[in-house]
Structure 1
Amino acid sequence: MSRRAIYSGSPFEELAGYSRALVDGEWVFVSATSGFDAEIKGFASTAVAQARKALEVIGAALEQAGASFADVVRVRCYLSDAADTVEICKLLGEIFDDPRPANTTITCGFPDSNIKVEFEMTARRSMA
């Protein structure tokens, strides 16, 4: 099985030496992804807006890997403020259908205080 990296073009990927996603056989490992918006060169003011942007980036990486949100088996959600949990959970509930992926949500700090949410995902591509 071969491994290949997928890049989103974020300057942080080169700076920190990681890929947005790594495809290894049927598995796709998506790095923690924030909602950095290149158009505004920063982050939206709300966790939900940041989450939507992060999910857009993740969706594109999954597509490049030959996968989709339907293939996601594990989600890790990192939040800077526990008060955003319900709204972010609702957003994830709109994206994932049965069987839904396993999910862990963690409240934590980020190196940039403007970051409100990040997602990390693992998907298993159908090899049919």
Structure 2
Amino acid sequence: MAERRTIVSGSTFEEQIGYARAVVDGDHVHVSGTTGFDYATMTIADDVVDQAEQCLRNITAALTEAGCTAADVVRVRYYFPDRADFEPCWPSFRRYFAGARPAATMLVCGLADPRMKLEIEVDARRPG
């Protein structure tokens, strides 16, 4: 039977809502929608690029705990309340995902907290 385990980040949202930052299911890693909150302090920057960078740090931490890196990401979904905020984040996304070149989708939608300017979820495949 394939290994299934959960990864938690310490975000209060995970506890309050009842989900995990990521789920490892065999070779597959599913990282939940992740925002730009710094989970240690539960603070969030006002700038969208700063949020994107924190979001990518949060995703990196979950992938590392799962035994992956950004190079193992096969799918990324970007969610933005304001489509104008997407392009300023491209350099951050390119730096992080260019090696993997995952399938990607961007959606414009509302998010749970008006301070959130983006949310990203990824799927990865563990190496080996």
Give your verdict on TM over 0.5: yes
- Return the offset for 1:41: 3.6
Equivalent pair of 2:67/2:126 in contact (CA under 8 Å): yes
Pick which of 116-125 and 86-95 moved more. Answer: 86-95
Residue of structure 2 equivalent to 1:123: 124
Question: SS where residue 54 of structure 1 aligns?
Answer: helix
Letter paired with 1:30: V
TM-score, normalization by structure 2:
0.93
Task: Flag the 1:15–1:40 CA change in 2: closer, same or farther, 3 A.
Answer: closer
Residue of structure 1 equivalent to 2:97: 96
Question: SS where residue 94 of structure 1 aligns?
Answer: helix
Structure 1 runs (4+) greater than 6 angstroms displaced: none
Residue of structure 2 equivalent to 1:46: 47
Which aligned pairs between 1:13-24 and structure 2 lie closer than 5 A? Answer: 13-24=14-25
Residue of structure 1 equivalent to 2:61: 60
Question: SS where residue 116 of structure 1 aligns?
Answer: coil
Letter paired with 2:55: A
Q: How many pairs does the alignment contain?
A: 127
Equivalent pair of 2:22/2:30 in contact (CA under 8 Å): yes
- Return the offset for 1:42: 2.6
Pick which of 42-51 and 27-36 moved more. Answer: 42-51
- Return the offset for 1:62: 0.2
Which aligned pairs between 1:30-45 and structure 2 lie closer than 5 A? Answer: 30-38=31-39, 41-45=42-46
Distance 1:122 1:48 in 2: 22
Q: Structure 2: where are the runs of 5+ without partners?
A: none
Q: Structure 1: where are the runs of 5+ without partners?
A: none
Which aligned pairs between 1:65-80 and structure 2 lie closer than 5 A? Answer: 65-80=66-81
TM-score, normalization by structure 1:
0.93
Task: Flag the 1:108–1:14 CA change in 2: closer, same or farther, 3 A.
Answer: same
- What's the CA shift string for 1:54-100, capped at 9, x where partnerless? 11011011000000000000000001111111112221111123440
- Return the offset for 1:102: 0.6
Identity of aligned residues (%): 46
